[in-house]
Amino acid sequence: MRIPFAIPLAAAGLALCAPGAAAQTFPTDDAVLRRIWTEGMERSQVERLAQALMDSIGPRLTGTPGFTAAADWTIAMYQSWGVTARKEQYGTWRGWRRGTSHIDLLSPRVRTLEGTILGWSPGTPRGRPIEAPVILLGDVADSAAFQAWLPQVRGKVVAISFPQPTCRPTSEWERFAAPPAGGGFGGFGGGPAAPTVWDRVRQARAAADSAWTRRLLKAGLTNTTLPVALERAGAVGILTSAWTGGYGATRIFATGTETAPTWGLSCEDYGLVARLAERGQGPVVRMQADAEFLGEVPTFNVVAELKGSDLPNEYVLLSAHFDSWDGASGATDNGTGTVTMMEAMRLLKTTYPTPRRTILVGHWNSEEQGLNGSRAFATDHPEVLRGLQASFNQDNGTGRVENLSPAGLVGAGAWFGRWIAALPSELADPITLRLPGSPSGGGSDNASFICSGAPSFSLGSAPWDYFSYTWHTNRDTFDKVVIENVRHNATLTAMLAYLAANDSATVPRERRIMPTNRAGEQQRWPACRDGARKWEP
């Protein structure tokens, strides 16, 4: 197999990401930590790994050829470093192949729209273009009236999302929408401030959003069942838009339709088409999409391993989900976590090839559908849960790791304190250790292990506008990755893995007394469950 890792990078424009080992302050004379630092900062492979994974291979939606290609590449990279790696099947999923997709406005004027079909969407018949008028979801009195309205969708494309009245980020309105002249009541000081332009826009948007929500509720369907009902009534396409609040950023999720292509349009272009439809100006679109359902396909995790010498049945687990949504490249969710763990394992193989405890890396499948891969692994490997010394999971973007927590294990704080104290100051100083912390309830794969009380911790990163611009969006691409941060994170992860694997004592598992919630009710430690082993419509 051709390994994209070997593709040479253009030199231009990459100088700001060039590795360099800045002067560091080590509180100990541990030779392994020093070797990890030198290898990680002077001979980092982060940029080359990230570019190959995100640009050359691309997104990794569960059940797609892209996921399989990325898994094969990852295993080949581990093998090239002398690290054992394997696929572990845990179930099956709906197979699907995304091809090209294109959507244009033809009337009342011509414009190529920014949009793509959602994950697991059907294509157009035989991949050929179709043209159809666009209508808005009907505003009806109740579910019975909605059923009476449904025949109107036959042969049409239906827009079902709330059309944002403005696609400017809130921060711009707050900064530039100045208050009325005079600054007070009626232009005179001393009275209550008159509404700003932003106040009026915000209030109007909230009212329009509430009205659209009521429109959906009156139809008597959910976001999942509505597209299917429209498809069954003869709609030939469905338009959606999931704006993040940032310029040009749209979340691209999935659909359950079988014949009607479901599109995610940008905030701006969805608003354009919706306004035309609302005002009776006759929008017509041309859609062309190549997509293919592939039947039931295997689902698997990728697991890499450095076998322990003294305590092979005790484990340090490095963790990141491998799957992604596929509206872009899956770069910061979670290509960055994937590359962090790959590079950390390379550093460990180079500097600490015979660990005291076994070191595993889990590249989990189907995290986006409910932590399915990691939950299945935890179910299938009780020996790892029993022998887990520590697991370190990273899954929140390209920022430098700055938050650690014992996740509600009251005795683990002393271990964290000891490990962090051994780190060079360049890695340790940005970290805030939050004690005693709380167990994750399901936000990422560390929840699959901490639910049993096994020490599983999140490496919390600085946000870098993660939720506004890259989380599940059409903008989650290689250029958003801050290589220097990922290089530091990989070096930090390798050091933590070494310190945990080499520690003479076992991390304790005593759980905190859970606090009460706002209603005064006692919270409970999260319960474990198995991952979904099969796709269900």
**Measured in whole angstroms, how far is the alpha carbon of residue 313 from the centre of its chain?**
32
| pLDDT computed for residue 22 by the predictor | 58
Residue 353, Cβ density class (10 Å: 0-12 exposed, 13-18 middle, ≥19 buried): exposed
The amino acid that residue 152 corresponds to is Q
Alpha helices per DSSP H over 279-364: 336-351
CB burial string 184-214: b at 16+ within 10 A, e below: eeeeeeeeeebeeebeebbeebeeeeeebee
What pLDDT, on the 0 to 100 scale, is given for residue 14? 35
Please tell me the predicted confidence (pLDDT) of residue 21: 57
Position 146 scores a pLDDT of 97
pLDDT at position 190: 53
68 is written with which tokens?
A: 């399989």
What is the spatial order of strands in the sheet that 432-433 belongs to? Answer: 432-433, 401-404, 460-461
The residue among 318, 314, 319 whose CA lies nearest residue 385 is 314
Give the Cα separation of 341 and 321 in Å (integer). Answer: 10
Q: Is the dihedral of CA 124, 127, 131, 136 positive or negative?
A: positive
In a structure prediction context, what are the per-residue pLDDT tens digits for the chain, which is 537 residues long? 434 444 333 333 333 344 445 557 899 999 999 999 999 999 999 999 999 999 999 999 999 999 999 999 999 999 999 999 999 999 999 999 999 999 999 999 999 999 999 999 999 999 999 999 999 999 999 999 999 999 999 999 999 999 999 999 999 999 998 765 555 444 445 556 678 899 999 999 999 999 999 999 999 999 999 999 999 999 999 999 999 999 999 999 999 999 999 999 999 999 999 999 999 999 999 999 999 999 999 999 999 999 999 999 999 999 999 999 999 999 999 999 999 999 999 999 999 999 999 999 999 999 999 999 999 999 999 999 999 999 999 999 999 999 999 999 999 999 999 999 999 999 999 999 999 999 999 999 999 999 999 999 999 999 999 999 999 999 999 999 999 999 999 999 999 999 999 999 999 999 999 999 999 999 999 999 999 999 998
Decide: helix, strand or coil at residue 377.
helix
Spatial CB neighbours of 136, under 8 Å, sequence gap ≥ 6: 158, 159, 274, 277, 278
pLDDT score at 537: 84
Model pLDDT, residue 409: 98
| Distance from C-alpha of 34 to C-alpha of 527, rounded to nearest angstrom | 40
Distance CA 251, CA 327 (A): 8
Q: How far apart are CA 483 and CA 403, in angstroms?
A: 19
From residue 378, alpha-carbon distances to 297, 327, 357, 527 in Å are 22, 29, 18, 13
What is the secondary structure of 21-51 as a DSSP string? ------SS--HHHHHHHHHHHHS--HHHHHH
What pLDDT is recorded for position 191?
Answer: 57
How is residue 395 written in tokens? Answer: 């899954």
CA-nearest of 288, 291, 290 to 132 is 288
Distance CA 244, CA 167 (A): 10
Give residue 1's pLDDT. Answer: 41
Token representation of residue 211: 């009205």
Of 45, 2, 12, the C-alpha closest to 483 is: 45
Can you list the domains of the chain with their CATH numbers?
27-95+296-502 (3.40.630.10), 109-174+193-282 (3.50.30)
Residue with tokens 């139809």, as numbered in its chain: 219
Looking at residue 24, its pLDDT comes to 72
Written as six digits, the tokens of 254 are: 């999935």
